[in-house]
Structure 1
Amino acid sequence: MSFHPHYLSGNEIRALFLDFYAQRGHQILPSASLVPEDPTVLLTIAGMLPFKPIFLGQRTPEFKRATTSQKCIRTNDIENVGRTKRHHTFFEMLGNFSFGDYFKEQAIAWGWEISTTVFKLPPERLVVSVYEEDDEAYAIWRDKIGVPEKRIKRMGAEDNFWASGPTGPCGPCSEIYYDFHPEQGNDNIDLEDDTRFIEFYNLVFMQYNRDAEGNLTPLANKNIDTGMGLERMAQILQSVPNNYETDLIFPIIKKAAEIAGIDYHKSDEKNQVSLKIIGDHTRAVVHMIADEIRASNVGRGYVLRRLIRRLVRHGRLIGIYRKDVTCNVFTPQVAEVAISLAEDAYPNLRQRENSIKAELQREESRFLQTLERGEKLLEEIIAQVKQQGKTQINGEDAFTLFDTYGFPLELTQEIAQENNLTIDVAGFDAEMEKQRQRARKAHETIDLTVQGSLDKLAEHIHATEFLGYAQPTATAKVEAILVNGIAEEEAEAGTDVQIVLDKTPFYAESGGQIGDKGYLSGEGVVVTINDVKKESDFHVHFGRIERGTLRVGDTVSAQIDRACRRRAQANHTATHLLQAALKKIVDDSISQAGSLVDFDRLRFDFNCPRALTAEEIQQIEEQVNTWIAEAHSAKVAILPIAEAKAKGAIAMFGEKYGDEVRVIDFPGVSMELCGGTHVSNTAEIGVFKIISEAGVASGVRRIEAVSGPAILDYLNVRDTVVKDLSDRFKVKPEELPDRITVLQNELKNTQKELENLKSQLAIVKSDQLLQTVETVGNYKILVAQLEDVDAESLKTAAERLQQKLGAGAAVVLGSVPEVGKVSLVAAFSPEVNQKGLQAGKFIGAIAKICGGGGGGRPNLAQAGGRNASKLPEALEKAKGELKSALG
């Protein structure tokens, strides 16, 4: 039964999915960061994670329906990446969500419709699974959709009952599978057979809550949480044998193979696995760094470092660092491909390009040095084994090399074999399994129960009473002191602490607004407070004891930094005015996608499919400043949430709201649900200035701005720069642009003249070298050093000399154009090439003597280095090799 799928690119699949659900009342939301807001989770590992507070009933969503393409990272099955068709560390999960709106029948109907009409999969090639006790879902598939009973499989809880963790929301699920071989019939269908079936769409019917004893109770709202694997759907529609050969990943694999000088399709299984791992891990690390994760030895930074090191290790396995490849670092090159593939959907990749490539190059270089240290350790192990008269390296040592130094078992085996030794593979596997068990225990899961030290204290202390809306100071009692997350009875001067008070004037970070600063003081004790965060019902004050000893039970005076508070208030109110201006001037459907309210700036993310024009930005800025000048007074009220929304108050999607909400209303301008602090009158803001506007994700734009007292800081910095430039160029500030344009043109002309002079000088110098040509048989060899000649001029000189010498000429020139830099070039005639000498490979190997590398075409190639003192040695080596090869 032949079927040729309707080919769609990965980008087309993503767009069609989101558009399908948008047309059915779903709000398209941007992918959340890989760094989740949820502190109990290390990385964003599922499409539902950003909506966890909604599923828990902690937040009231602005939209009843949503759809996303969520980037995810999972490392619990990392050993399967590249070895199976579909395991990945990085993947995109297409999802549609219902928050107490539609349920099973509608979710199933739409799941079937998009699969068969949008993606045009033949119904006879689809098989569905349902939870074994879910008669309702079974009946919908059979009676409403018309799927034959033989192609509906009942499966147990392990496969078809979704749970995010030991407790919390859960429910049965139904999965849709694609059948690659329907000709095998409907009898004895085995959905575990991944050579025949691929599960591409999971529909979770989140209808229960599981308590600590395992009891299930119905949720107040029945929710839908679905996930369609973008890579899996691409595999189906692009008719490729695995996810890795789709257009989402294969260009990265192709680039890595090109660097290594191999062909993926002609390679053995070992090289193909390594190339797949490189393709997968490159996507993962590029997105992680773009989301501001940095390599380290802890937390998500360790995950990033581990992935980069696996990436480098497999680059080594496929021969990327061989002498004839002359590649110092390759990760920035494959990263560029990954960025170009995904930048349309994730513009932040291109915006963070320099940071991504710099981080990868730094980590790759460091790890290559680590590998060198591992090689030395292996030499010591081999020597010890031989000294003991043994013929086998034990598994524990082999695993230490793998785990600590990044040595693949295959590399250890290869080196051991060269020394007539073997490896205790069973012992290695045992150590590996021990590590996997440790990893599984520590692996991040979506634990929907908040954990932490405060949970234990919650039984003994009361929720913090927040007084900060009305008063900047308060007398409070110290309820708890934590040092490094551990509850203590007291702490002395010099200690960093987290403090819980019974009441506080300090605003805790939430809703995008930064926490207050200030201090606590008591009898003989002073504590500076640098930040405040809200954990459960407690305000946790982060600070340092400057003087005295603080004890649980002490009474202290809590005082906020009023200047910082005023700055935050101005910036927070300015974000409300900014959103109102965006809706008025650009599009009324614009909604907030995130924000940051700091003391010195504000950032506002909003849903918009295009960049704003310069004219729109100017109009928005003018409108906000007009509202500021009109001095609109704030009206603050606590209202039932339904009443607030009926009055037109704007809620931020995903924000947590209770039955009663705080409404900030500037009549005729803006009305929003907000728990933050604000000015009492817009005139207090003073002035508002937009600094930048840019894209941060697909369909999401970001405006950065300053307001209030922070404007003066902003203007002072720029005024200092302008005055300095005016003094240097001796012109008025308004004349600076014209003066700079004149200087730029003059500089370009001067550079062109200089380049011409350098080339002429190089030609003059090079002509003098013709007297040093050596003849070897029918060949002419010229190897020399030119002083103070740049790389481009050196290349011109080498080409000219080779042409002057004619047939059988081999020219190698070197120069030190500047301190710490070496330039080399080789120019070979076709007759020299016929002797097996390729300019690119030849000069790249010579450059290694100077601590560098390079390459190019067979007839002309350039290279560089860092050790100028080695240039004479390198040129002597080049002359010797040419004589040997051509003699």
Structure 2
Amino acid sequence: MSMPSSQPVAKTGDSIRQTFLTFYEQKGHRILPSASLVPEDPTVLLTIAGMLQFKPIFLGQREAEVPRATTSQKCIRTNDIENVGRTARHHTFFEMLGNFSFGDYFKEEAIAWAWELSTEVFGLPPERLVVSVFREDDDAFAIWRDQIGVPPHRIIRMGEADNFWSSGPTGPCGPCSEIYYDFHPERGDEAIDLDDDSRFIEFYNLVFMQYNRDAEGTLTPLQNQNIDTGLGLERMAQILQQVPNNYETDLILPIIEKAAAIAGLKYHDCDDKTKVSLKVIGDHSRAVMHMIGDGITASNVGRGYVLRRLIRRVVRHGRLIGIEGAFITQVVETAIRLAEEAYPAVRQRQSVIEAELTREEARFLETLERGEKLLAEILQRRSQQISGQDAFVLYDTYGFPLELTQEIAAEHGLAVDMEGFEAEMAQQRQRSKQAHETIDLTVQGSLDKLAEQVHSTDFLGYTDASSYSQVVAVLVQGELAQAAEAGTDVQVILDQTPFYAESGGQIGDRGYLSGEGLVIRIDDVQKDGDIFVHVGRVERGTATPGARVTAQIDRACRRRAQANHTATHLLQAALKKIVDDSISQAGSLVAFDRLRFDFNCPRPLTPEELQQVEEQVNTWIAEGHQADVAIMPLDTAKAKGAIAMFGEKYSAEVRVIDFPGVSMELCGGTHVGNTAEIGLFKIISETGVASGIRRIEAVAGPAVLEYLNLREAVVRDLSERFKAKPEELPERITTLQNDLKAAQKQLDSLRSELALVKSDQLLQQAETVGNLKLLVAELPGVGADALKTAAERLQQKLGEAAVVLGSVPEAGKVSLVAAFSPAVIEHKLQAGKFIGGIAKRCGGGGGGRPNLAQAGGRDPAKLPEALAAAKQQLQQALG
């Protein structure tokens, strides 16, 4: 790519970001922080656009705190993951610079400021810029032509697919206008094709959100006209730094060069294939750093799966360029250094990020080895080609590079079914696209229709257990209803309520709504934005909008929830004090009968630590610490030391629950007024639920008595059965266990002796193949250990021989053993690989040493077939 000498000097990514934010701050915009990559919106897996944190404002569900805002938003998109590194501008992680107006300014200002920023601040030559507008947006066309002075032939009208933004089939939408940079103006303006990526790059998109589209497709003007823009930081860096693609900007290139150095390479000397792998490492390293930094941990579901997949792609592409061992933390250290100025949290959480990456990388390196073994088994099938499904399983499940599969297959004279592989890939892309591509502003149909009509529910439950309320709306099966008779399941919206709606881990209250001839049992309460949805069943009468009702919570359930919720706060404080001060909450459940607390910790807690934590919590309960509840600015609360849940988004004003000297947290839940009201606290279990995440389950308050009563009943029953006092039970059970082990050991010995007797009878079935002996047989009812002993004995008695034995020791289980002498192994046969392949015919697998190996299966009906196949393969190999 060539650029004229008049182009401004290159600017760093950090300076571009700051210049953008400062420019709009001077235009009256409030600089707001990037939202977490874990969005508040439950319909979106990851934050994919700068406007996502403002969705409730655009929907009219929440008032804007400021009329104008500007942000640099971290974003993750994976719907085009296969293009990462192969094109100049596809990424999984990117930063979207945006300026937003919430019913304040509109097209004229948005266009004028975007042009001023691009040409006067960033210094882009006006003659190198082309703009697009929606084909019917004459207003935008006129502003660009008459007020900005863009020549009409460089204002391109485009259709709805390109220049009309909408989040879904219904909801807020509007035309947009985009600014493109022209890398090759020398090609002339006769036929401008904005789809030509080699010439044009779209770097700024201005969305004029001015309509609402209903279910019939009708557009009506919004009450407030909004502006939503996005400028790609990486794209502007490419333009200003005069490099051929986004990857060679200072935002990513240092990460790429670090990976190249680890592999003993120099990026600019590499071939195209190696450069693609290095670009993938550079891109994904930024993505996984920010994802873990925002509290995401690797798993097999949801955003945890996205993280795991990206980490595995980094490791896999490292292998492709020759890196054999662990390396990902070295690369991510460079990514942290580049990001810490704008996002200091990544440096603060460096130890958490590196610990998660180290664990996942080690696991995946082991998985890769298993993939190599699976490929070896596939090759043993002697098929004409490797199926597309097998190649995809190797690629997706084991992270085995397709190119490596093709290379190894070619060495064995085989091809790979690429058509089948691409079909599998297409299905996965579709799944990924559906999961990550759209921002749906119209979820839950009828509830969203109410958003513009219904005011936020007034919550009275911090002080009142009942209220006199009006029914605002009744929904049956998600649809608005004018009446709901007795026996109908309903959702009821009130103007005010004492019912707590599920949030912050605490479940919703239970209780009743009652009026003239009407009773509705409420089993749960959920929140949709700021609207409380009471879920229940009409017990008597008819529920109708406008009815006046008394809303009464179940006080006993509320007291239980309060005890459990306060106990979670005390539990976190005790964990920080006794185990590690860096422990933070990763999730929780506050129910009426129990509590669950998830926290980051790389190891299990010892029994002594659990006992100390439990004793500390009960000490604080007994001391009777009074709750101090206050509403204050977020910055003030943090300055006072209030604990916030990592990754949680808080408003400017927050509620602080303070038990002085013990615990102070930001929390919107309900709590006891004094810790003494809890009574008792008992830990039930401590387990691991994800990599680096531990879980404590416990009970507090009245639930402790119920728990102890249940345990006492169990102990009483055992005492009666064993005719022993409770304190004698451990010794009695230990004695019985020892007796059982001794009996089992004696039984196993007898079974082994019987198996040897049976096996000796098989010697006469051995056949001669060349200079070797071959014995393949079934020993019915023999366990795995006895079968192994028998196979070894038979091989020793036969001398240079191959012995394969199978058995069905119990229903639904198959055992297989292979014992090969040295002469058999010289025929390029290994017991481990051989018996593993045979076991697959019985729905299982296994392996072991070259001379002796065991395997298992789940389909006994296939054992005869498997043994016949083993005999045939050995006859061919040894003959």
TM-score above 0.5, yes or no: yes
Within 5 A, what are the aligned runs for 1:184-583? 200=283, 240=321, 248=361, 252-261=367-376, 278=393, 281-282=396-397, 410-411=419-420, 443-445=436-438, 453-583=446-576
Question: Is the Cα contact below 8 Å between 2:56 and 2:529 reproduced in 1?
Answer: no
- TM-score in terms of structure 2 length: 0.58
Q: Which residue of 2 aligns with 1:143?
A: none
Unaligned segments of structure 2, at least 5 residues: 1-34, 66-71, 98-115, 125-182, 184-198, 210-225, 238-250, 258-264, 288-309, 329-360, 380-384
Corresponding position of 1:813? 805
2:202 alignment partner, SS class: helix
Residues 689, 629 of structure 1: alpha-carbon distance in 2 compared, 3 angstrom cutoff? same
Residues 1:618 and 1:836: Cα distance change in structure 2 (over 3 Å)? closer
Shift of residue 848, structure 1, vs aligned partner: 6.7
Q: Is 1:158 matched up with 2:202?
A: yes
**Are 1:799 and 2:787 matched, yes or no?**
no
Partners of 2:64 and 2:532 in 1: how far apart? 19
Aligned-partner SS, 1:559? strand
Q: What corresponds to 1:173 in structure 2? A: 233
Matched, 1:713 2:716: no
In the alignment, the residues of structure 1 paired with residue 844 and residue 693 of structure 2 have an alpha-carbon distance, to the nearest angstrom, of: 43
Distance 2:547 2:541 in 1: 12
State the 1:715 CA deviation: 1.7
Contact 1:784–1:812 (CA<8 Å) still a contact in 2? yes
Distance in 1, matches of 2:86 and 2:267, equals 27
Structure 1 pair 862–500 and aligned structure 2 pair: CA distance change class (3 A): same
Shift of 1:492: 4.1
TM-superposed deviation, 1:506: 0.7
Report deviation, 1:528. 2.9
Q: Report the Cα distance in structure 2 between the residues aligned to 1:762 and 1:515, rounded to whole angstroms.
A: 62
Would the aligned equivalents of 2:85 and 2:277 in 1 still touch at CA under 8 Å? no
* CA apart distance, 1:790: 1.5
CA distance in 2, matches of 1:749, 1:607: 43
C-alpha separation in 2, matches of 1:714 and 1:314: 58
Letter in 1 for 2:41: D
Q: Matches of 1:631 and 1:261 in 2, distance apart?
A: 66
**Are 1:476 and 1:557, in contact at CA under 8 Å, matched by a contact in 2?**
yes
Whole-Å Cα distance in 2 between the matches of residues 463 and 558 of structure 1?
17
Select the structure with the greater relative contact order (CA < 8 A; seq sep ≥ 6): 1
Q: Distance in 1 between matches of 2:794 and 2:501?
A: 73
Q: How far has the Cα of 1:823 moved from its partner?
A: 3.2
Judging changes above 3 Å, is the alpha-carbon distance between structure 1 residues 795 and 698 closer, same or farther for their aligned structure 2 residues?
Answer: closer
Post-superposition CA distance 1:188-237 (Å, at most 9, x none):
xx9xx96997764989xxxxxxxxxxxxxxxxxxxxxxxxx978987999
Matching residue within 121, 133, 154 for 1:135: 121
Q: Could you say if the C-alpha distance between residues 156 and 454 of structure 1 is closer, same or farther in structure 2, counting changes exceeding 3 Å?
A: farther
CA 507–867 in structure 1, closer or farther in 2 if over 3 Å, else same: closer
Structure 1 residues 679 and 316: alpha-carbon distance in aligned structure 2, compared to 1, 3 A threshold: same
Shift of 1:565: 0.9
Structure 1 length-normalised TM: 0.57
Distance apart, 1:477 and its partner CA: 1.9
Q: Which moved more, 1:73-82 or 1:530-539?
A: 73-82
AA partner of residue 321 (structure 2): V
Number of the residue aligned with 1:752 = 745
Post-superposition CA distance 1:161-205 (Å, at most 9, x none): 7999996585562552427799979xxxx9xx96997764989xx
* 2:101 paired residue number: none
Instruction: Provide the secondary structure at the position in 2 that maps to 1:158.
Output: strand
C-alpha separation in 2, matches of 1:588 and 1:499: 44
Q: Residue by residue, what CA displacement relative to the aligned partner does 1:558-601 show, whole Å, maximum 9, x if unpaired?
A: 22222211110111122233344445555666654543322122
1:861–1:605 distance in 2 versus 1, CA, 3 Å: closer
| 2:490 and 2:538 in contact (8 A); partners too | yes
Matches of 2:743 and 2:708, distance apart in 1: 35
- CA distance in structure 2 between the partners assigned to 1:32 and 1:641 by the alignment: 17
Distance 1:852 1:661, change over 3 A: closer
Q: CA deviation at 1:685?
A: 0.9
Residue 461 of structure 1 aligns to a residue in which SS?
Answer: coil
Tell me how far apart the structure 1 counterparts of residues 96 and 610 of structure 2 sit (CA, whole Å). Answer: 33
Give aligned-pair identity as a percent.
Answer: 58
Deviation readout 1:496-522 (Å, 9 max, x if unpaired): 432211121210112322111223334
Partners of 1:58 and 1:656 within 8 A in 2: no
CA contact (8 A) 2:36 2:647 kept: no
* CA distance in 2: counterparts of 1:546 and 1:554, whole angstroms: 16
Contact 2:681–2:701 under 8 Å retained in 1: yes
Q: Distance in 2 between matches of 1:237 and 1:131?
A: 40
Distance in 2 (alpha carbons) for counterparts of 1:883 and 1:640: 81
Mapped partners of 1:797, 1:183: distance in 2: 58
Secondary structure at the aligned position of 1:527 is classed as strand
In structure 2, the CA distance between the partners of 1:544 and 1:736, relative to structure 1 (3 Å rule), is: same
**CA 171–494 in structure 1, closer or farther in 2 if over 3 Å, else same:** farther
In the TM superposition, 1:571-650 aligns within 5 A as 571-585=564-578, 592-606=585-599, 614-639=607-632, 650=643
Partners of 1:280 and 1:412 in 2: how far apart? 10
Q: CA deviation at 1:464?
A: 1.4
Q: Are residue 768 (structure 1) and residue 828 (structure 2) matched? A: no
Residue matched to 1:38: 41
- Mark the CA change 1:45 to 1:638 in structure 2 (over 3 Å): closer, same or farther: closer
Going from structure 1 to structure 2, the CA distance change for 1:510 and 1:441 (only over 3 Å counts) comes to closer
CA contact (8 A) 1:173 1:202 kept: no
- Structure 2 counterpart of 1:135, one-letter code: V
The amino acid that maps onto 2:784 is A
TM-fit CA distance, 1:706:
1.4
Q: Distance in 2 between matches of 1:517 and 1:813?
A: 62
Q: Say if 1:766 and 1:183 are closer, same or farther in 2 by CA, change over 3 A.
A: closer
**Which stretch of the first structure deviates more once superposed, 789-798 or 825-834?**
825-834
Distance 1:600 1:412, change over 3 A: closer
8 Å CA contact retained: 2:501, 2:532: yes
CA contact (8 A) 1:783 1:812 kept: yes
Is residue 318–residue 324 contact of structure 2 (8 Å, CA) maintained in 1? Answer: no
Over residues 747-773 of structure 1, what are the superposed CA-to-partner deviations in whole Å (9 max), with x where a residue is unaligned? Answer: 444443333332222222222333455
Q: Which amino acid aligns with 1:465?
A: D
Paired residue type of 2:419: E
**2:797 is paired with a residue of what secondary structure?**
helix
CA distance in structure 2 between the aligned counterparts of 1:561 and 1:703, rounded to whole angstroms: 27
- 1:548–1:874: structure 2 CA closer, same or farther, 3 Å change rule? same
8 Å contact kept, 2:387–2:420: no
- After the TM superposition, which residues 98-113 of structure 1 pair with which residues of structure 2 at under 5 Å, given as runs? none
Q: Report the Cα distance in structure 2 between the residues aligned to 1:164 and 1:692, rounded to whole angstroms.
A: 54
User: d(CA) in 2 for partners of 1:590 and 1:839?
Assistant: 48
For residues 491 and 637 of structure 2, the distance between their equivalents in structure 1, rounded to whole angstroms, comes to 36
Q: Is the 8 A contact 1:82 1:277 kept in 2?
A: no
SS at match of 1:551: coil
Amino acid at match of 1:77: D
Q: Which shows bigger deviation, 688-697 or 571-580?
A: 688-697
SS at match of 1:456: helix
Return the alpha-carbon distance in structure 2 between the equivalents of residues 528 and 318 of structure 1. Answer: 66
Alignment match, 2:129: none
Q: Give, as a single letter, the amino acid of the residue that structure 2 aligns with 1:561.
A: D
